[in-house]
Structure formats: structure tokens, C-alpha cells
Amino acid sequence: MLFQKEHNGTNYFMISTSFSINYKLHFHAGFELVQIFSGELEVTVDNRTHTLTADKALLIFPYQLHSYWTVEFCKYRIIVFSPDVIEQFYLQTKNMVPKNPVFNVSHLNAHNGELSNLFEIKRFLYFVCGALTKQTEFEVKPNNKSSSFIETIFNFVEENYMENCSLKKLSELTKYDYSYISRYFTDTVGNSYNQFVSERRVSAACELLLHTDLSVTEIAGLCGFNSLRNLNRTFLKLRKSTPKDYRCQNSF
């Protein structure tokens, strides 16, 4: 799922700490802070690649295309939060991006606290914004036609994966040649368009399997699969289990 609509909402805040991440090109409506504790991580933001090492962090702005690639190993923390959590900073930098999103965070841990309530979270995130502002300048977000086109494709899939979101329909909508879109998407994202659509549909199916009592047949229809057999085959390929087994193994 390259457009992560779950990273939205009022006062949204999500924190995750783990080891070694590889994540394909995606974007969402929130800010994303990436901090490295050890090792090395390559982060691509709007077609520019940055290498993060220990005591370095990077702030990704809303709707910036980004991906992650671990060189060998890294311990990292990612914090995704909605713009309203740092409203004043967001309003001041709206439609702008940092010239260099990488900044030093050698003293960041001292400002961590437990982040157990909204006030502590805001204090911590405003400290991050202050650290970034001291170390770089801001510029108007470039009107990158390539980025705009890939966002158009992502949004098209997001709005239409439940039904017909074929390349033919996308070609008719955008007035771009079918073959050109296919090559462009593969070159930009690293997967074929059809693979991306399948992954989006399976991701939607996973959500329904875990959070509703709908039958697998009903879920197949809601997620754009033309048959239960097609859902089962695609799900097994991408999740290494059947939808029924996935529900049983992940339900508590």
C-alpha cells in the first residue's frame, strides 16, 4: 500500500522501533521522523537519497514520496504524526520542504521523556522541528512532474482498487499511452503496476479479515477480486497463507 491513508486523523501519533527496514516508495498525509541509533539506512525522499547513520535523523513532510533501504543493519525509530500535532510549524512551512531534511540529534534522547500524553509529544516534536530549523533552510516544494504523475497513479489505485483500476482505464483517464505508464511505474516503484494493485487489494482484505466478521467471499468482492478463487490465489502468493488461515492466526 503506497498511499498510507491510516496515517491520518486528528492528533495522530505512531511510534515504532525495530531493526533493519526495507520499504518501497510510498507517501501519506502525515509527517514522518526517522532516527537511527546504530548502523546505516538509506532514505530516498522525492528522488533524493540520503544516508543516515547513528545520531542522525530525517524529517519527511506530508505527501513527500519516500522509501527505505537498509545497507547492512540498522536500529531505527520511526514516528509518524499528523500536521495538527505541530500546527504552528506546519502552518509556517506549508507548501515548503527542507533543503536538507537530515539533521543531528545527538541530544534528542534527552528530550524524549515517556511521550505518554499529548503535551509531552508536542514538546518533543517541537524540539525536533527546532533542531531541523537551526540546521537547514526551507524552499517551496518543487513542482516535480514525475512525482505528480506517480501520485496521480497512487491516488487512482486508492480510489478504484475495489473495482476496475486497470491500466487501460488509467490510460484513458490520464491520456498517457498504456505501455508508457507500465514502464514508467515499474522503473519508478520497482514493481509492476499489476503487482502493486494486487498488494493494495490484499492489504485491504487483511484489514477486513482482522476487523470485521464478513465472509471471505464478501471480502473478495469488496476488495476488487473478481472471484473467491482469485483472492485465495493472490493472497497465498503475497501472504504465504490462505485468507481463512490468516484470519485464524492473527485474531485474538
At 101, which CATH number? 2.60.120.810
Q: Which amino acid is at 208?
A: L
Q: Are 36 and 57 in contact (CB under 8 A)?
A: yes
* Closest of 64, 237, 33, 7 to residue 132, by C-alpha: 33
| DSSP bridge partners of 20 | none
Q: Do both 172 and 124 map to the same domain?
A: no
DSSP labels for 93-119? HTTEEES--EEE-TTSGGGT----SHH
- Report CA-CA distances (Å) from 129 to 64, 112, 137, 174, 252: 17, 14, 12, 38, 39
Q: How far is Cα 33 from Cα 215, in angstroms, rounded to an integer?
A: 38
pLDDT at 250: 76
Q: Do both 26 and 119 map to the same domain?
A: yes
Q: How far is Cα 69 from Cα 40, in angstroms, rounded to an integer?
A: 9
pLDDT at 50: 94
pLDDT at 218: 96
Residue 6 is assigned to a structural domain of this protein: no
Is residue 179 exposed (0-12), middle (13-18) or buried (19+ Cβ within 10 Å)? exposed
Q: How far is Cα 93 from Cα 137, in angstroms, rounded to an integer?
A: 11
Residue 203 is assigned to a structural domain of this protein: yes
The 10 Å Cβ neighbour count of residue 37 is 14
What CATH number does the domain containing 213 carry? 1.10.10.60
* CB within 8 Å of 164: residues ≥ 6 apart: none
Residue 42 is assigned to a structural domain of this protein: yes
Q: Are 219 and 229 in contact (CB under 8 A)?
A: no
| Cell of residue 185, nine digits | 511505474
Domain tally, the chain = 2
Q: Do both 99 and 161 map to the same domain?
A: no
Say what the pTM is: 0.65
pLDDT at 29: 76
Using only C-alpha atoms, the chain has a radius of gyration, in whole angstroms, of: 20
Residue 5 is assigned to a structural domain of this protein: no
Element (H, E) at 224: none
Q: How many CA atoms lie within 13 A of 45 on its CB side?
A: 25
Could you state, in chain order, the average pLDDT of each consecutive group of 10 residues for the chain (252 residues)? 50 86 81 92 90 91 87 90 90 89 74 72 90 91 68 86 92 92 85 88 87 93 94 92 89 62
Which residue range(s) make up the domain with 207? 146-250
Q: How far is Cα 133 from Cα 138, in angstroms, rounded to an integer?
A: 8
**Of 140, 155, 175, which one is at a domain's C-terminal end?**
140
Q: Do both 105 and 150 map to the same domain?
A: no
**Of 113, 140, 167, which one is at a domain's C-terminal end?**
140
| Cell of residue 231, nine digits | 483472492
